A = this chain, B = another copy of it.
């Protein structure tokens, strides 16, 4: 006839080290060490405490642990959306990257804190870092925030960004050689017979800007006219209209399209199909990234592959090195042309 009816068997829940210490008849210190599997505590005491913990489903409070150890075990993954306010966290390339990063981090016992940031104030990165919650930060893409990243990198080491690398750059970045990638795309289009080429994508961000630069260089090397460049927003609801308008504008004046990403390329493919333009016969199309779905389009998309898996691994390796206080240089990987049916 106890008043508290529901706590039948299990007496008060074990929530803290102290609780557990009490029922184990030892000090919290011992419990703490036992759970950490410290060699300091006697083997049977350890076993007994661990069993007790298991039985009561006890898990130490992470907040307290982190406060005490000054190690959070959390790394932040941040997607800066500076140039693309309406974009949702949905670009398949970034998402695949996120998946691999998540894998690598979880494997190493780190938790992930995800932020999708629209850099409105200029201290967005400082805010994330200064919260004291993070052992390190991974940026997926530099967006148009190169300056902000540089500034922070000057005094904050455990920071690695996916993206471009510039000669004078201070922050650690991992990425493919976008200039080379752009060149390859250009050469591929030209080799297929294309002469008048359009580039679909905003060139304001370093990554895409370099791809565009590579394309220009390739065309120039062949003695061809500079490409026409069109801005394209990544928000899915406007992209198709924009591309459609651009294609309509250039009409027959082009015979090749280099899209800044596969999603853009796929949309372009769709728009061209609508207009009855046969790809690649009439217009050749090449994308960038090689997202999984790129192999499933009709026609299959020719594209420049960025190897996400090794890229993610490189990012995490670099980050761990920097967390450990070592130094880690930027890495620039080589993109590879994946020749399929669209160019």
Contact = CB atoms under 8 A, between A and B. Distances in A.
A133 B103 CA distance: 20
Given A96-B88, A98-B89, A296-B240, A62 B114 contact: no
A63 B66 contact: yes
Interface stretch (A22-30, A174-182, A262-270): A262-270
A63 B95 contact: no
Contacts of A88: 96, 99-100, 103
A58 B129 CA distance: 11
A74 B298 contact: no
A108 interface: no
Given A61-B131, A64-B67, A266-B296, 10 more contacts: A57-B126, A61-B67, A62-B132, A63-B132, A88-B99, A92-B95, A92-B293, A99-B116, A106-B115, A269-B298
Main secondary structure of the interface of A (DSSP, over half): helix
B74 A67 contact: no
Question: How many copies altogether?
Answer: 2
Given A267-B296, A295-B240, A102 B114 contact: yes
A3 to B, nearest CB: 20
Contacts of A64: 67
17 contacts: A59-B127, A59-B130, A59-B131, A61-B131, A61-B132, A67-B67, A88-B99, A89-B95, A90-B95, A92-B95, A102-B114, A106-B116, A112-B114, A114-B114, A240-B295, A270-B295, A297-B297
Chain A interface size band reads 35 or more
A113 interface: yes
A74 B113 contact: yes
Interface of A: 57-64, 66-67, 72, 74, 77, 88-90, 92, 95-96, 98-100, 102-103, 106, 111-116, 123, 126-127, 130-133, 236, 240, 263, 266-267, 269-270, 273, 292-293, 295-298, 300
Contacts of A113: 74, 111-114
A295 B98 CA distance: 24
